[in-house]
């Protein structure tokens, strides 16, 4: 059975992907330092996939630990989710972000080479594109991130492009996610931000459950139909399926792939609020406040290449995104219970 090391596998996207990997017949080993996730996720992954999943608590920057892991397991591939992802925090603590996301990735790739593991999927982000002056981003959109977090993602992409040039046996997928939302349909796993959520969907769902009094809508004076920002929200289950498809597609015919994972259909903040109200039957109080620094008015994916190369496309729409988020939130009002 093919074995895959999933760094950051107890996190939001990693946990959903781990279940789909296990269901697709991959043996899953998770490495996570639990800096932004809970150990309890592992039991839920096992419960939902009905398969055993190995969990190692530790840091991708720990050379010795990685060497031990690679000597104890024979991996076919690595999916590298581990990273810090809060844009505002990255501006305040750049060294922490470069150390964790860039130095951590270098340690991981170095130990992969030493162990002879050359197949990798890397979690990149639409944030690598910055602000190109148009709203539909293809993979050829210039790479010019406008924040520290985005620059850490671009640096790791650059490192991987250079690694491929230096050692052609590498097989690498750079997957650029748009805005992941939603949860496993069981409501057993979902997004569990520690502290105040930075992102729209977890904030809305915490308002719905009564943990927060109202949502702040950051600006209604953008040049969009209702004045609020437009984003390409993608269901985390579709995103997870994209990883399984990428893992199966990587090989001699497709040794290096760079793909947007999005739906191609953007929604506004007000549309997301209405959809969530429909799904939950709960009114979401909100207040229009000023724009958030660094926000763009609108962007979404051209996701044609992922369809062509992977035969993958997002299937789940806005109503499922909201219904599944609400199912997770209402059955786990305090998340996994330790934040
Ligand atoms: P998450 O925070 O839920 O998951 C990341 C996991 O990595 C966490 O469990 C955390 O504990 C772990 N981690 C962080 N640093 C680590 C380290 N040094 N060693 C070991 N484990 C470490 O975030 P997520 O939303 O699941 O994101 C997964 C990946 O996708 C990240 O790399 C993120 O940058 C990227 N991404 C996320 C989004 C998004 O909006 N969620 C969008 C684009 C890209
Ligand atoms: N928004 C609000 N109120 C909130 C939170 C967000 O009005 O409390 C608005 C934002 O202004 C934006 C939209 O909701 O118009 C989406 O904001 P998010 O914070 O959910 O997502 P972003 O598009 O800003 O960024 C996210 C991740 C990044 C990632 C990017 C990829 O946070 O890490 O998607 O497209 F890089």
Pocket test for ligand 1, best of 33, 57, 59, 83 (most atoms within 8 A of CB): 83
Domain ranges of the chain: 3-182+233-264
d(CA 295, CA 167): 38
Measured from the alpha carbon of residue 202, the closest ligand is 2
Query: Atom 17 (ligand 1): residue with closest C-alpha?
Result: 59
**What does the pLDDT read at residue 125?**
98
Query: Atom 10 (ligand 1): residue with closest C-alpha?
Result: 36
268 lines ligand 2 (CB under 6 A): no
The residues annotated as belonging to the active site are: 149
**What does the pLDDT read at residue 107?**
98
Measured from the alpha carbon of residue 104, the closest ligand is 1
Pocket test for ligand 2, best of 285, 292, 297, 318 (most atoms within 8 A of CB): 292
273 lines ligand 2 (CB under 6 A): no
199 lines ligand 2 (CB under 6 A): yes
Architecture of domain 3-182+233-264: 3-Layer(aba) Sandwich (3.40)
289 lines ligand 2 (CB under 6 A): no
DSSP 117-158: --EEEEEEEGGGG---SSSEE-TTS----SSHHHHHHHHHHH
In angstroms, what is the span from residue 219 Cα to ligand 1's centroid? 27
**What does the pLDDT read at residue 262?**
98
As to burial, measured by CB atoms within 10 angstroms (0-12 exposed, 13-18 middle, 19+ buried), residue 28 is: buried
Type and span of the H or E element at 258: strand 256-261
**pLDDT tens, residue by residue, 107-166:** 999 999 999 999 999 999 999 999 999 999 999 999 999 999 999 999 999 999 999 999
Measured from the alpha carbon of residue 196, the closest ligand is 2
d(CA 27, CA 76): 10
**What does the pLDDT read at residue 1?**
63
Query: Atom 22 (ligand 1): residue with closest C-alpha?
Result: 82
DSSP summary character for residue 100: I
Q: HSE of 95 in the Cβ direction (CA atoms, 13 Å)?
A: 0
**What does the pLDDT read at residue 50?**
97
203 lines ligand 2 (CB under 6 A): yes
264 lines ligand 1 (CB under 6 A): no
Ligand 1 atom at shortest distance from the alpha carbon of 100:
18
**What does the pLDDT read at residue 339?**
40
In angstroms, what is the span from residue 98 Cα to ligand 1's centroid? 14
Residues lower than pLDDT 70 in the chain: 1, 337-339
Cβ distance 132 to 183 under 8 Å? no
d(CA 139, CA 194): 32
């Amino acid at each position: 059975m093919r074995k895959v090391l999933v760094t950051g596998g107890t996190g939001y996207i990693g946990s959903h992907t781990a279940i789909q990997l296990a269901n697709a017949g991959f043996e899953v080993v998770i490495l996570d330092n639990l800096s932004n996730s809970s150990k309890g996720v592992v039991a839920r992954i096992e419960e939902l996939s009905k398969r055993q999943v190995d969990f190692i608590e530790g840091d991708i920057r720990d050379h010795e630990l990685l060497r031990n892991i690679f000597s104890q397991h024979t991996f076919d591939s690595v999916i590298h989710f581990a990273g810090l992802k809060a844009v505002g925090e990255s501006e305040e603590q750049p060294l922490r972000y470069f150390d964790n996301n860039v130095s951590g990735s270098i340690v991981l790739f170095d130990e992969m080479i030493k162990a002879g593991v050359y197949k990798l999927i890397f979690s990149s982000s639409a944030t690598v594109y910055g602000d190109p002056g148009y709203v539909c981003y293809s993979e050829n959109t210039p790479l010019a991130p406008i924040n520290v977090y985005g620059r850490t993602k671009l640096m790791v992409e650059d490192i991987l492009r250079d690694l491929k040039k230096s050692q052609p046996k590498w097989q690498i997928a750079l997957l650029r996610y748009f805005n992941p939302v939603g949860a496993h349909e069981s409501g057993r796993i979902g997004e569990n931000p520690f502290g105040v959520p930075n992102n729209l969907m977890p904030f809305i769902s915490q308002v719905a459950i009564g943990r927060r009094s109202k949502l702040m809508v950051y600006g209604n004076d953008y040049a969009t139909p209702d004045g609020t920002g437009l984003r390409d929200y993608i269901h985390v289950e579709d995103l997870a399926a994209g990883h399984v498809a990428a893992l199966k597609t990587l090989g001699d015919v497709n040794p290096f792939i760079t793909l947007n994972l999005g739906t191609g259909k953007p929604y506004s903040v007000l549309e997301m609020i209405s959809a969530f109200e429909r799904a939950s039957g709960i009114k979401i109080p909100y207040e229009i406040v000023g724009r958030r620094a660094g926000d763009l008015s609108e962007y979404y994916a051209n996701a044609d290449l992922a369809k062509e190369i992977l035969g993958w496309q997002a299937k789940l729409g806005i109503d499922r995104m909201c219904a599944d988020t609400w199912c997770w939130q209402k059955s786990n009002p305090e998340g996994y219970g330790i934040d």
